[in-house]
Amino acid sequence: MKPTKTIFALCTLCLLFTSFRLLNDWILYQTKHCSIYFPSKPSFETEDMNSAVGKLKIDMYMYEVPDSVADDNHLYALYETEYPENSISSDRKEKQDDFFRGAIDGSAKNVNGKILSEKKIELEGYPGREVRIDFKDGLAVIRMRYYLVKNRLFMLQIFTETKKEQNKSIDRFMDSFKLKQ
């Protein structure tokens, strides 16, 4: 019976080690202004967008989960947008609510979604919002965090099926976001 217990113990240790490694195999991705962990290396694109305050450049870091990979989520994304200094800033509290309202409503409108919840958050004293948007009439949920740091907007986004909305990878991604000093 001792060999059976030893084999069982070794198998248990291997399973624990493998599970631990899988959780820690995420990639720390760093931009000039922040860092965040992704499950795999994200792609990078830059897009210009016309807005009420002029042309804006959006840096997009995205990891779309391939069908062959087991993951509770479909997309992990970080977007960075620098606004003209005279248009919005985290120092100008009187404009923040309108700014976030426009960003959140615009995000929901872009996917024909419905805002499910919204709350004020902070990161290192900078204002933010956490939002859940219904996508495709209950098929999926988009979880987002917005942070306004001086005149730069950071937007974190995850697409997941509604039934998988309470998975640990969402928190791991969102909570790993750090500003560079």
Query: Per-residue pLDDT tens for 49-62?
Result: 888 888 999 999 99
pLDDT value, residue 2: 53
CATH of the domain at 126: 3.40.1000.10
In a domain, 17, yes or no: no
pLDDT value, residue 24: 61
Alpha carbon 24 to its chain centroid, in Å, reads 18
The residue range of the domain holding 47 is 26-179
User: CA-CA distance, 52 to 167, in Å (whole number)?
Assistant: 37
In a domain, 161, yes or no: yes
| pLDDT of 153 over the 70 cut | yes
| pLDDT of 20 over the 90 cut | no
| C-beta neighbour count of 78 within 10 angstroms | 24
- Please state, rounded to an integer, the average pLDDT across all residues of the chain: 88
In a domain, 107, yes or no: yes
| pLDDT of 111 over the 60 cut | yes
In a domain, 99, yes or no: yes
In a domain, 95, yes or no: yes
In the predicted model, what is the mean pLDDT of residues 116-137? Answer: 97
In a domain, 153, yes or no: yes
Cβ contact 63:76 at 8 Å: yes
| pLDDT of 128 over the 90 cut | yes
The total number of structural domains that make up the chain: 1
The DSSP 8-state label assigned to residue 171 in this structure reads H
| Tokens (6 digits) for 30 | 């760093």
Cβ contact 133:144 at 8 Å: yes
Q: Tell which phi-psi region holds residue 157, choosing left (phi > 0), alpha (psi between -120 and 50) or beta.
A: beta
What pTM was estimated for this model as a whole? 0.84
| C-beta neighbour count of 126 within 10 angstroms | 16
In a domain, 80, yes or no: yes
Cβ contact 75:65 at 8 Å: yes
Alpha helix (H) residue ranges in 31-81: none
User: CA-CA distance, 70 to 81, in Å (whole number)?
Assistant: 31
